[in-house]
Structure 1
Amino acid sequence: MKLLGIDTSTQTASVAIFENGNILGEMLLNTPLTHSQKLMPMVESLMAQLSLKIKDLDGYYVTTGPGSFTGVRIGVSTVKAFAQAHQKPIVTMSSTALLALGNLQHEGIIVSLLDAKRENVYGGIYRSDGTELETVYEGIATLAEVHQMLETDFSAERILIVGEATSIYPDFFDTMISMWNKNNYLFGKQRHNIINATSFCHLAFETAEHHTYLDITANYMKKSQAERDLK
């Protein structure tokens, strides 16, 4: 079974192709280019290098957000177009969960934080046993609210914090780290903070919930700036 995975929920665009759980190839670009400029060239280049065509694929993985409104929409729309044209199933996952899956080796609590602007984050809190994730929380919150949740509910556990928010709001984390138990809190290195489509390899396609192009929608978690400006 050959599968294509796509994530475009942040500035980074990532695509990967799998066969029977093995990664055949991947491409990742962390550039200011828009996803409309880079996604299809990445897919086409990777498929060409593997001597594959879209019709050869048996299904698709895609993140449905949260994250960049435009980026999420482009990734979801691209996969929906492929699925409609070839009548193949889709498996979806939140972008914060996929980021956590990329750090599955951590046993304990994994906190994925993506920037939602103005010291708000799209946050995911997951419990990992090293092989599977359990979703504890997903939503939009302030950094202070995330800190309160962690201190209230998980202060005795080993916590790994990953995601772009750790570098976007360094002053917050530098200030708050003095209030945390430093033995319990870990922060991901740069490569752990980037969402990578290769992490879909941890999600079994056959047993995951399948969708058609008709029933997947983006999960923005909040209204776009344009929608807010109309009020």
Structure 2
Amino acid sequence: MPYILNIETSTKNCSVALAKDGEAVVCKEIAEMGYSHAEKLHVFIEEILSEANLQFSDLNAIAVSQGPGSYTGLRIGVSAAKGLCYALDIPLIAVDTLEVLASQISIEEGLIIPMIDARRMEVYSAIFDKNYQKIRDTKAEILTQESFSELNQMIYFVGDSSQKAKTIIQKENFIFAENVIYPSANQMTKKSYTLFTKNLFEDVAYFEPFYLKDFMVS
């Protein structure tokens, strides 16, 4: 009956979810134009534990969204997660941010392409099948009229780059799920639980976020 605290700060969404046996118990999140993660994250963590009537000592692991995404956001989330793991002597779990984003949509056929804004016309993206298995690795790419044109299946785009992507890439088989904007800790819970049961943990001392690009001020 493990309790796992899930932290997602890779975008403008500051999100924390407490899960029991892979099911979310409490989730708190806020997406603001300015990055308020430094002010909100620890407040959310304390509020969630209070609402669940738990102590920090009741936690069995900390899961963090590993990136790609905002350099500043990732640093804040990973630093908090590592600090808790050190203090509580519990394992650290890393979850692929784009997989978290992709899992917010359910499809019967086709492919899912989660995209996170990387400034101007550049995005961080990957390609997942309907079962959320990654079939193309994560990369930073500049959107052009030819982007993803080789894909003939139904393609579902999710993420905070959908609006700008629609101005560049348009095909009949492209669908933009505009209601799915940011990754959420609420969608991390099942994946983090699976990794926990398989003892797939990170080295707390050496773990670093998956930045993908050099530092740019967010």
TM-score, scaled relative to structure 1: 0.85
* Aligned match of 1:65: 67
Quick one: distance in 1 between partners of 2:108 and 2:39?
35
> 1:181-228: CA deviations, max 9, x gaps?
x2x2221132x22211111133113126211311311111111137xx
| Larger displacement relative to structure 2 (192-201 or 12-21) | 192-201
Quick one: distance in 2 between partners of 1:59 and 1:106?
33
Deviation at 1:176, TM superposition (A): 2.9
Instruction: Check conservation: 1:65, 1:94, Cα contact below 8 A.
Output: yes
Residue pairs, 1:5-20, within 5 angstroms:
5-20=6-21
Q: Which runs of 5+ in 1 are unaligned?
A: 227-231
Instruction: Check conservation: 2:116, 2:125, Cα contact below 8 A.
Output: yes
| Larger displacement relative to structure 2 (201-210 or 50-59) | 201-210
Instruction: Check conservation: 1:88, 1:212, Cα contact below 8 A.
Output: no
Quick one: distance in 1 between partners of 2:99 and 2:187?
10
Runs of 4+ residues over 3 Å off in structure 1 = 104-107
Instruction: Check conservation: 1:106, 1:160, Cα contact below 8 A.
Output: no
Alignment pair present for 1:201 and 2:189: yes
Deviation at 1:97, TM superposition (A): 1.6
Instruction: Check conservation: 1:128, 1:134, Cα contact below 8 A.
Output: no
Quick one: distance in 2 between partners of 1:74 and 1:35?
7
Aligned residues: 212
Instruction: Check conservation: 2:35, 2:73, Cα contact below 8 A.
Output: no
AA at the equivalent of 1:109: L
Distance 1:33 1:175, change over 3 A: closer
Quick one: distance in 2 between partners of 1:149 and 1:209?
34
Quick one: distance in 2 between partners of 1:142 and 1:106?
29
> 1:158-195: CA deviations, max 9, x gaps?
2110000113x1xx513531xx1x2x2221132x2221
Deviation at 1:42, TM superposition (A): 0.8
RMSD: 1.8
Deviation at 1:69, TM superposition (A): 0.8
* Aligned match of 1:97: 99
Distance 1:37 1:199, change over 3 A: same
Alignment pair present for 1:158 and 2:158: no
Residue pairs, 1:1-231, within 5 angstroms:
1-31=2-32, 32-105=34-107, 107-129=109-131, 132-144=132-144, 148=146, 150-152=148-150, 154-155=151-152, 157-167=153-163, 169=164, 172-177=165-170, 180=171, 182=172, 184-190=173-179, 192-203=180-191, 204=194, 205-207=196-198, 209-225=200-216
Q: Which SS does the other structure have where 2:111 is aligned?
A: strand
| Larger displacement relative to structure 2 (201-210 or 51-60) | 201-210
Distance 1:135 1:60, change over 3 A: farther
Deviation at 1:148, TM superposition (A): 3.7
Deviation at 1:104, TM superposition (A): 4.2
Distance 1:107 1:41, change over 3 A: farther
Q: Return the structure number with greater helix share.
A: 1
Q: Which SS does the other structure have where 1:18 is aligned?
A: strand
Q: Which SS does the other structure have where 1:225 is aligned?
A: coil
Q: Which runs of 5+ in 2 are unaligned?
A: none
